[in-house]
Structure 1
């Protein structure tokens, strides 16, 4: 591995990206062990405490193998957007480098990874609770398609970048656009890092088989009970921690709004859609 922090070169780092269930966690840990690295998480669902099973959060053994950052540091209802992430990851990466260690950025959130690598300057717009409640109501009554259509009218460029199925990010983009902000992040003129990007790609059938096996394993490990505990704690289904795939679906089952079979089927379908979207992004 080349010298990490030569004064004449850009800071070096490794990046592991790919769709869900492709093996990013295992590879990032192996690379960190091999090259004196520290893993920096870029999967927003792993930020939150209490959602461990359904997010495939690294095990205690994994976390002990190498230093990890940005995992289990937020409460379920804490807001933490792209701008917050970029501020945090830049600070953490700089500290890792001062220890002459190698930052290993790992995750499937394309905006978070590319925002960091390309030095995005993301607009900061305060949350609008009234607008969010209105749009969440539209999503529930008319579907996410109706909310996404509003974004397409307000900011077509943002609509092209954002996953139309991610209601939280669609609503946030509308929030920024209506506040008069530019949802398009400003990129640095030059990429600030010398990054080796490792992209994982599996054939569709093999990836879908891995997704199904992982969901089965999560359910056997107590995923429904995990969701039940969150609901009993009073965590609303629109809380950031509950917006991960499967949590709302299983919460709907626990509330008697859908059958168990339907909740599991919807979770499988949404996870496959996410994997396709991630593959297209990367």
Structure 2
């Protein structure tokens, strides 16, 4: 899909679909990929993990409907994963798909991961401080994630508001960036917001808050019916405990039930509450991005809406001859 015009090398094309959990990104991405001859790259920081299907709302083979998906089930639950690694995997994929004449679609809700690709963050500018990171990890062991999270409040209120305290590795990363560069994580990211290497369209899906929260609550009920507790117990019994993967919403609440800290009903209600709060944080992240084109998914005719979005994308990414 990358082309040459009068000897000028054109940027690689890219479509990105973002929005909060349960808004309908998966379905929209698959339908658009079918219409636009695309393949999907997961922009979800959790669907990379094997054996973690229900709690991550991982797309099924049936739902894929023949559309190729990348970056799903590529890591063991005990392995770490970082935004820099995501960037290193995704950027060559975008190049490969463009060379094959396919439109790459990044679909997901992990804002930092997606921004690292479309804004081409240079992670070498804030290289790791291993000693500081180890010190902070010891701090978590001796205290708790809430106290670590509180350290962000004064130096980086934006990251404090958008990073969940249980995602302590992201909290440590924000503290580490400040220590290394003197900039907050948000300032550091903004300083790298140079021209994107891609000819991209960033689509955001939104929905009435009450409708979205009802969808989130129902999704959790369906996950429980599908065997979320059993999935979490298998991971717990297999020794997947102090790992990045199970700090995520959908597992940490069930782990508290397994360890006798919550009743089953309390764990379910906490999972629903945390999921709603996560959706709000996702909105906060993406609403601050001026280049997101928003489409309301509340009580829509799906076929009409997808046609509207398809026409918008084609108008932005292609000239008439390219979409015949």
- Equivalent positions of 1:62-101 (< 5 A) are 62-63=63-64, 65-101=66-102
How far, CA to CA, are the matches of 2:142 and 2:163 in structure 1?
A: 19
How far, CA to CA, are the matches of 1:188 and 1:161 in structure 2?
A: 21
- Contact kept, 8 Å, 1:135 with 1:171, in 2: the verdict is no
Q: After TM superposition, give the deviation of residue 270 of structure 1 in Å.
A: 0.4
Match of 2:138 in 1: 133
- Contact kept, 8 Å, 2:16 with 2:105, in 1: the verdict is yes
Match of 2:267 in 1: 263
CA separation of 1:158 and 1:213: change in aligned 2, threshold 3 A = closer
Match of 1:124 in 2: 127
Match of 1:6 in 2: 3
Q: After TM superposition, give the deviation of residue 168 of structure 1 in Å.
A: 3.0
How far, CA to CA, are the matches of 2:252 and 2:127 in structure 1?
A: 28
Do residues 276 (structure 1) and 280 (structure 2) align?
yes
Match of 2:292 in 1: none
Q: After TM superposition, give the deviation of residue 188 of structure 1 in Å.
A: 5.4
Q: After TM superposition, give the deviation of residue 250 of structure 1 in Å.
A: 0.5
- Equivalent positions of 1:6-25 (< 5 A) are 6-7=3-4, 8=8, 9-25=10-26
- Contact kept, 8 Å, 1:125 with 1:181, in 2: the verdict is no
Q: After TM superposition, give the deviation of residue 156 of structure 1 in Å.
A: 2.6
How far, CA to CA, are the matches of 1:126 and 1:223 in structure 2?
A: 37
User: 3-state SS of the aligned residue for 1:14?
Assistant: strand
How far, CA to CA, are the matches of 1:230 and 1:198 in structure 2?
A: 35
Match of 2:235 in 1: 230
User: 3-state SS of the aligned residue for 2:40?
Assistant: strand
Do residues 187 (structure 1) and 192 (structure 2) align?
yes
How far, CA to CA, are the matches of 2:216 and 2:25 in structure 1?
A: 13
Aligned residues: 273
Match of 2:314 in 1: none
Instruction: Give 2:220's match in structure 1, choosing from 215, 218, 232.
Output: 215
Give the alignment's Cα RMSD to 1 decimal: 2.1
- Contact kept, 8 Å, 1:148 with 1:159, in 2: the verdict is no
How far, CA to CA, are the matches of 2:60 and 2:94 in structure 1?
A: 22
TM-score, with structure 1 as normaliser: 0.89
- Contact kept, 8 Å, 2:11 with 2:199, in 1: the verdict is yes
Do residues 249 (structure 1) and 253 (structure 2) align?
yes
CA separation of 1:188 and 1:258: change in aligned 2, threshold 3 A = closer
- Contact kept, 8 Å, 1:13 with 1:194, in 2: the verdict is yes
- Contact kept, 8 Å, 1:76 with 1:241, in 2: the verdict is yes
The runs of 5 or more residues in structure 2 that have no matched partner are 287-324
How far, CA to CA, are the matches of 2:159 and 2:213 in structure 1?
A: 27
Match of 1:112 in 2: 113
Q: After TM superposition, give the deviation of residue 96 of structure 1 in Å.
A: 1.1
Q: After TM superposition, give the deviation of residue 246 of structure 1 in Å.
A: 2.2
How far, CA to CA, are the matches of 1:230 and 1:71 in structure 2?
A: 18
Match of 1:36 in 2: 37
The runs of 5 or more residues in structure 1 that have no matched partner are none
How far, CA to CA, are the matches of 2:159 and 2:203 in structure 1?
A: 27
After superposing the two structures, state which structure 1 stretch, 186-195 or 100-109, moved more: 186-195
How far, CA to CA, are the matches of 2:160 and 2:238 in structure 1?
A: 37
